[in-house]
């Protein structure tokens, strides 16, 4: 990972890791004041937020959130339909603000969390490189996402300014750093997966000449697209990729994130049921892609009942397999375990790759030859968000186990993985505050 990070920073197209510039060179520090808005598009839900900031880091941020599932047809609709939906949701949200008496009539400032790969031109503009996670809205690739939103807001008559266009990882880093200045990187492991981190500007060779006051910039790695010949792929991975809407793309994501884990498990169970008498009949439902969603797979994995009745219930509900013998239930749990453990360990290896790149893995950086023992390790915080880590305890347990194994306990104790609450939304509102003045 660290080697590919170097390659992606050296030249455009130098690696499958895009290592995208974000133009975020300063992270919020707690002095931000005022009311800011954020919209978040990118996972299973769409969210609108309002955040009140009082200029004090330690105080609890007050925020109101409205969340709704993204209507499925919009994921493959036209950009106008998608952005009109987003703008209407914001308009309704604003219309519900208090009794109207204390609402400012000034222009509102908004941060847009757009959780897809974007080539940024500035902190508030950028073009969509490609869709991921099942989205494929037509005529969007190559267009400025912030401008599309700004136009839709104007169509709805809203006096709202898009002050920041932000990847969800960057929002998470902003909130993590706001609460804990030792935060140097942020990871999302939800429907999709990705990471960003603070890089020295002189290490970003491909943007030679660009100067920032802080001498640093947040880099959006788009690690979901990471690939290496050292990564073994099973036939299930190969088939899943070939049958996906984006073959040869997002290879790391397809082994790690919530959108895919359930489907890997389904593929293994299907093959087992075809090649053995594990179940009496092969249920046709086993052949339906994505029918087993990851939260249900996690529920089977974490079934602690002595007779694994949750496993049997879910197999019946999802695949219409009526009677599952105990032996088969145990095998299904084992399959979930193998798939999740691999995902968590890959994510942990990715985190260590970032630490290595920035010299926080205890080895003195990728080119350093110093031994681990005499390196003083600084407290290093990695902010994390997404359902897989925060709601799936075996996943987070395996991730920590792997971090300890790879780094060694002496180093790993200095690396703190911290869950942020809604960083991808609140963090983006913070960035809108930092960059709107």
Residue (190 or 251) nearer to ligand BGC, CB: 190
Q: With H, G, I as helix, E, B as strand and everything else as coil, classify residue 38.
A: strand
Q: How far apart, in whole angstroms, are the C-alpha atoms of residue 204 and residue 198?
A: 11
Residue (255 or 407) nearer to ligand BGC, CB: 255
390 near 419, Cβ under 8 Å?
Answer: yes
- Please say if 47 is a catalytic residue: yes
Active-site option among 15, 25, 50, 115: 115
Which residues contact residue 252 at a Cβ distance below 8 angstroms, ignoring those fewer than 6 apart? 193, 223, 224, 225, 226, 227, 231, 346, 350
426 near 171, Cβ under 8 Å?
Answer: yes
Residue (220 or 380) nearer to ligand BGC, CB: 220
Report in angstroms how near the CB of residue 44 gets to ligand BGC at its nearest.
10
Which residues contact residue 55 at a Cβ distance below 8 angstroms, ignoring those fewer than 6 apart? 30, 31, 32, 33
Which residues contact residue 338 at a Cβ distance below 8 angstroms, ignoring those fewer than 6 apart? none
The CB-nearest residue to ligand BGC is 192
Residue (196 or 312) nearer to ligand BGC, CB: 196
Report in angstroms how near the CB of residue 345 gets to ligand BGC at its nearest.
19
Q: If residue 147 lies in a helix (H) or strand (E), which one and from where to where? A: helix 145-155
Residue (51 or 118) nearer to ligand BGC, CB: 118
Report in angstroms how near the CB of residue 122 gets to ligand BGC at its nearest.
18
- Please say if 25 is a catalytic residue: no
What is the DSSP secondary-structure string of 384-405? EESHHHHH-HHHHHHHHHHHHH
Report in angstroms how near the CB of residue 167 gets to ligand BGC at its nearest.
5
- Please say if 155 is a catalytic residue: no
Active-site option among 144, 168, 237, 303: 168
Write out the residues near ligand BGC by the rule CB under 6 A: 42-43, 115-117, 132-133, 167-169, 188, 190, 192-194, 222, 224, 253
Report in angstroms how near the CB of residue 315 gets to ligand BGC at its nearest.
29
Joined tokens for residue 391: 């709601």
Q: What is each CA distance from 210 to 96, 167, 204, in whole angstroms? A: 43, 21, 9
Catalytic residues: 47, 115, 168
């Amino acid at each position: 990972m660290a080697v590919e990070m170097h390659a992606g920073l050296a030249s455009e197209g130098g690696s499958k890791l895009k290592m995208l510039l974000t133009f975020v060179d300063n992270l919020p520090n707690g002095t931000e004041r005022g009311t800011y808005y954020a919209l978040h598009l990118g996972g299973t839900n769409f969210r609108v937020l309002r955040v009140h900031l009082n200029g004090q880091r330690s105080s609890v941020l007050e925020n109101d959130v409205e969340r709704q599932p993204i209507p499925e047809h919009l994921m493959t609709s036209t950009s106008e339909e998608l952005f009109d939906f987003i703008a209407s949701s914001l308009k309704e949200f604003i219309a519900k603000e208090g009794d109207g008496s204390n609402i400012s009539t000034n222009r509102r400032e908004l941060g847009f969390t757009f959780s897809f790969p974007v080539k940024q031109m500035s902190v508030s503009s950028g073009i969509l490189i490609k869709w991921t996670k099942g989205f494929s809205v037509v005529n969007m690739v190559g267009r400025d996402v912030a401008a599309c939103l700004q136009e839709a807001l104007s169509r709805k008559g809203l006096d709202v300014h898009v002050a920041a266009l932000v990847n969800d990882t960057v929002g998470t880093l902003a909130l993590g750093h706001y609460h804990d200045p030792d935060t140097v990187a942020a990871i999302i492991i939800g429907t999709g997966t990705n990471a960003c981190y603070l890089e020295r500007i002189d290490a970003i060779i491909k943007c030679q000449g660009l100067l920032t006051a802080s001498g640093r910039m947040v880099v959006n790695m788009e690690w979901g697209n990471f690939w290496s010949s050292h990564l073994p792929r099973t036939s299930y991975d190969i088939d899943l990729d070939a049958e996906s809407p984006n073959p040869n793309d997002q290879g790391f994501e397809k082994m790690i994130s919530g959108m895919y884990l359930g489907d890997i498990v389904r593929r293994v169970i299907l093959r087992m049921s075809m090649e053995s008498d594990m179940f009496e009949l092969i249920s046709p439902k086993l052949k339906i892609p994505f029918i087993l969603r990851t939260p249900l797979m996690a529920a089977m994995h974490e079934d602690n009942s002595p007779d694994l009745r949750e496993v049997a219930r879910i197999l019946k509900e999802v695949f219409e397999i009526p009677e599952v013998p105990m032996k088969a239930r145990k095998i299904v749990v084992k399959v979930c375990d193998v798939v999740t453990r691999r995902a968590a360990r890959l994510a942990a290896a990715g985190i260590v790759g970032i630490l290595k790149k920035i010299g926080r893995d205890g080895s003195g950086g990728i080119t350093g030859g110093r031994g681990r023992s005499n390196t003083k390790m600084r407290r290093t915080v990695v902010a994390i968000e997404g359902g897989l880590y925060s709601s799936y305890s075996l996943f987070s347990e395996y991730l920590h186990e792997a971090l300890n194994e790879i780094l060694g306990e002496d180093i790993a104790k200095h690396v703190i993985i911290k869950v942020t609450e809604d960083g991808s939304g609140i963090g983006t509102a913070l960035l809108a505050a930092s960059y709107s003045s």
